[in-house]
A and B are shown apart, each in its own frame.
Chain A
Amino acid sequence: MTVKEIFDTMDYGPASESAAEALAWLVDQGDRFGCFINGAFTKPGQVFESRNPASGEVLAHITQATQTDVDAAVKAARKAQPKWAKDGYARARTLYAIARLLQKHSRLFAVLETLDNGKPIRESRDIDVPLAQRHFYYHAGMAQLMDTELPDRVPLGVCGQIVPWNFPLLMLAWKIAPALAMGNTVVLKPAEYTSLTALLFADICRQAGVPRGVVNIVTGDGAVGEMIVASDVDKIAFTGSTAVGRKIREATAGTGKALTLELGGKSPYIVFDDADLDSAVEGLVDAIWFNQGQVCCAGSRLLVQEGIADRFYTKLRARMDGLRIGNPLDKCIDVGAIVDPVQHAQITRMVDANTEGQTYRANTTLPSTGCFYPPTLITGLSTASTLMQEEIFGPVLASTTFRTPSEAVEIANNTRYGLAATIWTENINLALDIGPKLAAGVVWVNATNLFDAAAGFGGVRESGFGREGGWEGLSAYTKPKATAKPLKPIAAFEGDGGPDGLDRTAKLYIGGKQARPDGGYSRAVHGAKGALLGHASLANRKDIRNAVEAANAAKNWGKTTGHLRAQILYYIAENLSARATEFANRIDTLTGTRTGTKEVDTSIRRLFTYAAWADKYDGQVHNVPIRGVALAMKEPVGTIAALCPDDAPLLGLISLMAPAIAMGNRIILAASDPFPLAATDFYQVLDTSDVPGGVVNILTGSHAELAPTFAAHLDIDAIWSFSGTDQSAIIEKKAAGNLKRTWVNNGKARDWFSADGEGRSFLDQSTEVKNIWIPYGE
């Protein structure tokens, strides 16, 4: 076209970023890559092709790592770890150097990422690469501060990390930066579609002076991921699909490996009728057409208040028509290529299978070749529609309407996922009311897809657990300093003695009421010398069901004030104190020891500890680089099931119950298996201490029998096990069902009388951090 013709049409025309330097780098590497192990690239082994999804061209050949490669990588990481963990300042300098090098080579990283992944160069250049740099800068600071700010934490050791293809470099940064900062070494596997920036990063590590073995990159498909999961690592960090996350949960169950999972989502994007509609429409471009919608936290479920829905959809469709789709290297492109034909076929299949609602495809030209999918809006869906429930992971927005704020929350939370949520309203009262009610790890108000190293990112429910970024993210890469001794199983005493005094019936305690066990079975509880102390009910799966229902009916407990919860904890302490002698005697008789008095005294102190914490375990306001605040709110986890320690039958129970209810959770406690009667005496204390029914539920029975039902229950949010019979493996395996959080003893003992028996780790486990981003300005 001539200048005159363009003057008349005012088209944008091509504005391609050059791929020359990135392609030259690939040629320099021989277009074939080995793994990066112990500071050097291995010779390429059996290779597979890595293609540019926008053109189908082969970019490079990537090695499918073998077991030998993975073993060598883990071994190198293991060897390098102790020295790496020693000096926080040295780590800070190295992380700083990485950040600087990412900056110096920023365009090379951006172009390579776009070639490999198909995302628009604008995104890789303005979002992925700068955020990756930011993570290394931020965590260079964390390395520097670890000694003074986290004196009681130590590194986990070697971390196996598996990252997805949607943000290859950024997810690598989210994984490697905090791990390295906290003194861990890593073995990371990039996704097989997108390995190139990880390999360039390996090259950068050498320039940054990262010691050999500290960062290892092994490439390949899911089989390599499985090898890492099975290898001798101390932790697995995974970002990817919920299905794979579930498999990893099962595979690591009972191994003692720490695990964090950042999985799928179907995040709600809620537009209230007082919102700035044009801005909310523009927000959707960032929510669902960012990275072709291949974003775990994509705002893929649009909920619009009914009265404005038609107008909003009209505006949205017009905006969709303005999206430019095409060559991802073009600086004037909004939507690039889908990562791979496999993913394209998956999106197509899901959308084509839908027969409900109205489907609108952006009226915009699509390139004739390459892996492109048009921005799509499907309105008029119901909550039951597959597309409202299942993650599509493509540029497809599913929508329905709502009438009231409470209905918006109800629909928003009607999902197995819980990663992110977006709220558009000009009413701060509404925004701050809705934000905490949404089941999500991240909430954005009048914005979407805001990320920063200073604010934790991660989900609840089947979107996984653990946070990446912020202070809250560090617990994913550290553990308490204490070294634990192996657990000693305690068998219940047997005997044939007779009763002493009037027969008393110990029942289950469910929903604030004493309940006979559903099965109608009890077991005799004997003292050390064989005397019959009483009978304990044997709870079965129906008792668990009832207890969970009672606990969930008491969810308003989470909305009470910390002050009120403190008052109730103090009251429990007061009433326990009044019956101290009785409880001390009971413990002595049950356990055949003379520790009862000390145990009761410690229990009362522990109640004081968590009464103290109830209104003091504050959230934070993160220092994120926007004009606004990111409120890191500590919210209760929900309903927690806990297998109490067998030793310390009263103190163990209180050590779990008190932090849980102090933070606003409901808890179902399986009492000490061999010594259950202190717990059943204790429910009388609860009854007289204003604890609302259902907040604390106590079951007695065999831990081994109760554990699998607890762990598999889909309406329990977390399960803790400190049982003397180690239930860790079965619990973690069964917990994969709804990916509930687990906290298990892995066969290690804990001294409930010491400082190990209380404190921040209990509070951490009792809370989820939700980051609510609120940009402001008028």
Chain B
Amino acid sequence: MQTHTPPSPTQTAQLLQVHEPRNNGMPLDLDWVASVQANTSAIERRAATLPGRRSVKKDYQAAWLLKAISCIDLTTLAGDDTDGRVQRLCAKARQPVSAALLEKLGMTGLTVGAVCVYHDMVAPAVRALEGTNIPVAAVSTGFPAGLSPYHLRLQEIRESVAAGAREIDIVISRRHVLTQNWQALYDEMREMREACGDAHVKAILATGELGTLRNVARASLICMMGGADFIKTSTGKEPVNATLPVTLTMIRAIRDYYDRTGIKVGYKPAGGISRAKDALVYLSMIKDELGNRWLNPDLFRFGASSLLGDIERQLEHHVTGAYSASWRHALA
């Protein structure tokens, strides 16, 4: 049984930042899009050497791992999801690490960044998270392929928002990228953003299906021009999901967009990040390329389901000095 005592405002401090102005997008600028370059070898080299250049140890590592937790979109996107399953996930979202460990670390009240589910699970998730400030995110628009009828995709967004989702993870039409139909991609993004209303929209690029990093960079830019609050790598269902080179490409696009417009767009790598060590590398990449401001859940999320378990074990090791076991920590 879980308690439903709402965390106090101080306990959820990590969620209550001053919110940045939303990205309202800008007119499509095809000259800018055309000038975008992404040199794959150089990007891969930077990504490959970063883990050797950056290292956090001891208390710093623990703090960074806790930060990672605060940025997790704890996710279940399975055909066999049920109310019970989602309730269990939400309980974990409220109390991602055992209370005892959090107390020792001085981080009582820490929660994950959001819970991410399919539309039908939005309502149960919202119920389960009542009293917290943890938002529910819904994957939408015919996730993961995004090939259902267009009007239904827009309608799906509206219904998820009506059901209480505060964040909508949309999927873009990959074919618009692959055929370089930037106008169509821009229009799609604009309309989906419109359908979201006040809910924040994360644009999933499905980078594993875009062919080249140059396409990733250009698609990132278009989605930001179209008003995406976040750009996100993957559905988790593509053959290749979040990678460091893709991340570098997308966050550099975010930086360029910020330099040009003054608007901070968030970033969400999703799929394939399952180890605490990987999370640290992602955080250091964000820190080095975008800056500390992005190391907060309003601008950065991990789309992950198994990452939390590994972080819990590392945190227990940090506190006790002994290597931990997965069964010592509550299931998500």
Contact = CB atoms under 8 A, between A and B. Distances in A.
Interface stretch (A11-19, A46-54, A64-72, A668-676): A11-19
Interface string B24-49: 00000000000001111111111001
A282 B63 contact: no
Contacts of A342: none
Given A15-B55, A332-B54, A778-B212, A3 B39 contact: no
A332 B55 contact: yes
Contacts of A209: none
Contact of A3 (B53, B66, B288, B295): B66
A644 interface: no
A368 to B, nearest CB: 21
Given A277-B37, A278-B252, A7 B43 contact: no
A693 interface: no
A334 B53 contact: yes
B64 interface: yes
B286 to A, nearest CB: 10
A122 interface: yes
A6 B60 contact: yes
B37 A3 contact: no
Name the interface size band of chain B.
Answer: 35 or more
B56 A13 contact: yes
A279 B288 contact: no
A322 B46 CA distance: 14
A122 B53 contact: yes
A275 interface: yes
A314 B295 CA distance: 23
Interface in A435-463: 446-447
Contact of B60 (A13, A426, A626, A628): A13
A4 interface: yes
Contacts, number: 105
Contacts of B37: 274-277, 426
Interface residues of A, number: 41
Contact of B56 (A15, A322, A426): A15
A322 B59 CA distance: 22
Contact of A279 (B14, B39, B54, B64): B39
Contact of B42 (A3, A9, A126, A447): A447
A12 B66 contact: no
A1 interface: yes
A283 B44 CA distance: 12
Nearest to B39: A276
A446 B288 CA distance: 21
A2 interface: yes
Most buried by A among B41, B44, B252: B41
B42 A775 contact: yes
Given A3-B105, A275-B37, A276-B37, A283 B58 contact: no
A775 B46 CA distance: 13
A331 B106 contact: no
Interface string B48-79: 01001111111110111011000000000000
Most buried by B among A6, A15, A275: A6
Given A10-B64, A15-B55, A3 B41 contact: no
B42 A279 contact: yes
A7 B292 contact: no
Nearest to B104: A3
B41 A627 contact: yes
B45 A10 contact: no
Interface in A269-292: 274-280, 282-283
Contact of B292 (A10, A275, A331): A10
B56 A332 contact: yes
Interface in A528-567: none
Interface string B140-172: 000000000000000000000000000000000
B212 A10 contact: no
Contacts of A314: 259
Given A3-B66, A12-B60, A332 B106 contact: no
Interface in A1-59: 1-7, 9-15
Contact of B39 (A4, A446, A626): A446
Contacts of B288: 322
A6 B63 contact: yes
Contacts of A775: 41-42, 45
A275 B295 CA distance: 29
A14 B52 CA distance: 15
Nearest 7 CB-CB pairings of A with B = A13-B60, A6-B63, A279-B42, A775-B41, A276-B39, A331-B55, A276-B37
Given A4-B106, A282-B46, A626-B41, 8 more contacts: A6-B63, A7-B14, A14-B57, A122-B53, A276-B42, A276-B43, A279-B39, A332-B54
Interface of B: 14, 37-46, 49, 52-60, 62-64, 66-67, 105-107, 212-214, 252, 255, 259, 283-284, 287-288, 292, 295
